[in-house]
């Protein structure tokens, strides 16, 4: 999530102070994303430094921020620019499965199974959230749908990885350390 751009979006509705922005952002995301108030303050300071927001005089003790014209342009550009899809993101699960293939003593099928179980449990939890949510809470419904679709994609990938792993030729027995017959690079 781009906290920077989410704050710009919230400020497009009018001036606000950091705590209000934090609460509004959590509410808009169905309260599924916790946001540290320190992160909000740090992000607002950077936005102010970059000329995207300015301090707004509202009176009282709280420091209010308002969107600048440059900030509105940045928000508009961000909303209309699709994220890059040309290179796959570094996905920890993908990396785990890829490296587990060659780790001695690790059954990669067990790694896949453990992650599949975790994903199914997460899907069940989100399904319960969806079932108990207020039907008018559109933000929560959109968040939960996005997470369920993302998790479904992970399950599909795990199933495809499992099929590929099962179809691979049996691995050669690992060479015994120090056996120069299996390590031609060892100089005698």
Quick: pLDDT tens for 139-150: 888 889 999 999
| pTM recorded for the entire structure | 0.66
Task: Please count the residues of the chain.
Answer: 188
Q: What percent of the chain has pLDDT over 70?
A: 86
Quick count: other Cβ atoms within 10 Å of Cβ 163? 9
Strand partners, 65: 16, 55
pLDDT surpasses 80 at 89: no
- Asked if CATH classification 3.90.470.20 holds for the domain at 3-80, the reply, yes or no, is no
CA atoms of 152 and 120, how far apart (whole Å): 9
- Report the pLDDT value the prediction gives residue 187, as an integer from 0 to 100: 42
Quick: pLDDT tens for 68-85: 999 999 999 999 988 877
The angle formed by the CA atoms of residues 41, 13 and 148, to the nearest 5 degrees, is 75
Tell the residue number behind the tokens 């008018």, with chain if given.
136
Give the chain's mean pLDDT: 84
pLDDT surpasses 80 at 171: no
Residue 144 burial (C-beta neighbours within 10 Å; 0-12, 13-18, 19+): buried
- Report the pLDDT value the prediction gives residue 1, as an integer from 0 to 100: 53
Quick: pLDDT tens for 3-59: 899 999 999 999 999 999 999 888 877 666 778 899 999 999 999 999 999 998 776
């Amino acid at each position: 999530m781009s906290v920077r751009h989410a704050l710009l979006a919230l400020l497009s509705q009018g001036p606000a102070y950091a705590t209000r922005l934090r609460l509004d952002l959590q509410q808009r995301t169905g309260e599924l994303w916790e946001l540290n108030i320190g992160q909000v303050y740090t992000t607002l300071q950077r936005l102010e430094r970059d000329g995207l927001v300015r301090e707004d005089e509202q009176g009282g003790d709280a420091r209010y921020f308002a969107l600048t014209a440059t900030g509105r342009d940045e928000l508009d550009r961000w909303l209309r620019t699709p994220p890059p899809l040309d290179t796959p993101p570094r996905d920890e699960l993908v990396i785990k499965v890829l490296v587990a293939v060659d780790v001695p003593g690790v059954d990669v099928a067990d790694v896949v199974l453990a992650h599949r179980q975790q994903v199914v449990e997460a899907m069940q939890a989100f399904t319960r959230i969806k079932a108990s949510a207020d039907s008018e809470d559109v933000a929560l419904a959109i968040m939960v749908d996005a997470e369920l679709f993302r998790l479904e994609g992970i399950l599909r990938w795990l199933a495809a990885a499992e099929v590929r792993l099962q179809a691979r030729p049996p691995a050669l027995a690992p060479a015994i350390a120090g056996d120069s017959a299996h390590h031609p690079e060892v100089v005698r």
